Amino acid sequence: MSDETQDGSHETRAELKKSDAVELEVVEVREGAFGVHGTGDTSGFGGLRRPVVMPGAATPPYGGWFDEVAERLTAGEGLADAIEKVVVHRGEITFFIRREVLRQAAQHLRDDAGLRFELLSGVSGVHYPGDTGRELHAVYHLLSMTHNRRIRLEVTCPEEDPQVPSVMGVYPTADWHERETWDMFGIRFEGHTHLTRILMPDDWPGHPQRKDYPLGGIDVEFKGGFIPAPDNRRSYS
C-alpha cells in the first residue's frame, strides 16, 4: 500500500487480521474456574491451570504501511534499536519502545515527514502484576492526520522503578494524560513539569487502578443479609 492511501488503517485491516505470533507472551497463569482457591474450591476445577497469553511479537514484513512506519521509525537518529518488539493484532500495530528513547522516538514520529503523527490521542496505563520485571505499561495512541494512520506505542517499566520519560515537551496534550496515569498507576513521568494527582484528592494514598489496589467497595446490606462488594464475590476466572 502506498503513502497516498488516505484511509490506510481501515483498508488494510482485513488483510492484517492474522497475528504473526512466534513466541508466547505469558503474562499470568489462571487457576481454577470460579475464583476460589485452596480447600474452599469444591467445584472440581481447582486443578485447572491455563496461561494468559497476550499476542506475541510479529516478524517483518508486518504488511501494508506498517513496514514503512517501522522502517522510518528506526531510521531516526539514535533510534536504531528503539523497538523492543512489534505486535500486530486485530489490524492494529503496537511498537514496544525502550523507555530510554521514548522521548526521541515521539519527537521523530511527530516531525518526520513520512510519519507525521501530529496528534497524541491519549496515554493510558495498564498494570500486569504477573509480567515480572515489566509490570507497568504506559500505552500511547498516536494519530497521523496527514496519512490517516493510527499506531500504538507501549513502554514498560518495573514496579520497583516506575519511571518513564515524559513526552509533554513533544505533545503538550500529554500533560493531563500523564498526570492521570501517575495518579492511577504510579508511573512517574520524568521531565513532566508538575506531576501531581489530578483525579484523586492530593493526599490520597496509593494508586487506585493498579491490580493490587482493592476496588474498595463495601458490603451491601439487604433485608435479611449482606452481599459482598463486587471484588469479594465469587466470580469466574
Contact map string, positions 78 to 117, toward other proteins, x by CB under 8 A:
-----------xxxx-x-----------------------
Applying CB under 8 A, does 152 fall inside the site for other proteins?
yes
Applying CB under 8 A, does 118 fall inside the site for other proteins?
yes
Q: Give the nearer residue to other proteins in terms of CB position, either 37 or 90.
A: 90
**3-state secondary structure string across the chain:** CCCCCCCHHHHCCHHHCCCCCCCCEEEEEEECCCCCCHHHCCCCCCCCEEEEEECCCCCCCCCCCHHHHHHHHHCCCCCCCCEEEEEEECCEEEEEECHHHHHHHHHHHHHCCCCCCCEEEEEEEEECCCCCCCCEEEEEEEEECCCCEEEEEEEEECCCCCEEECCCCCCCCHHHHHHHHHHHHCCEEECCCCCCCCCCCCCCCCCCCCCCCCCCCCCEEECCEEECCHHHCCCCC
Q: Which of 46, 63, 122, 191 binds other proteins (CB under 8 A)?
A: 122
> From residue 184, how far is each of 11, 102, 200 by CA, in Å?
36, 21, 8
Q: Give the nearer residue to other proteins in terms of CB position, either 50 or 75.
A: 50
Please answer whether residues 95 and 117 qualify as being in contact, where contact means their C-beta atoms are separated by less than 8 angstroms: no
Applying CB under 8 A, does 226 fall inside the site for other proteins?
yes
Work out how close the CB of 109 gets to other proteins at its nearest, in angstroms, rounded to a whole number. Answer: 14
Q: Which of 31, 36, 41, 55 binds other proteins (CB under 8 A)?
A: 55
Applying CB under 8 A, does 28 fall inside the site for other proteins?
yes
Specify the residue for cell string 488494510. 12
Q: Give the nearer residue to other proteins in terms of CB position, either 78 or 192.
A: 192
- State the Cα torsion 117-119-122-128 to the nearest 10°: 0
Q: Under rule CB under 8 A, how many of the chain's residues touch other proteins?
A: 69
Q: Give the nearer residue to other proteins in terms of CB position, either 8 or 165.
A: 8
Applying CB under 8 A, does 225 fall inside the site for other proteins?
yes
Applying CB under 8 A, does 126 fall inside the site for other proteins?
yes
Work out how close the CB of 53 gets to other proteins at its nearest, in angstroms, rounded to a whole number. Answer: 6
Please answer whether residues 231 and 218 qualify as being in contact, where contact means their C-beta atoms are separated by less than 8 angstroms: no
Q: Give the nearer residue to other proteins in terms of CB position, either 24 or 80.
A: 24
Applying CB under 8 A, does 24 fall inside the site for other proteins?
no
Binding site for other proteins (CB under 8 A): 6-7, 9-10, 14, 17, 19, 27-28, 30, 52-55, 89-92, 94, 118-122, 124-127, 139, 141, 143, 145, 148, 150, 152, 171-173, 175-177, 180, 197-201, 204, 208-209, 213-218, 220-226, 229-231, 235-237
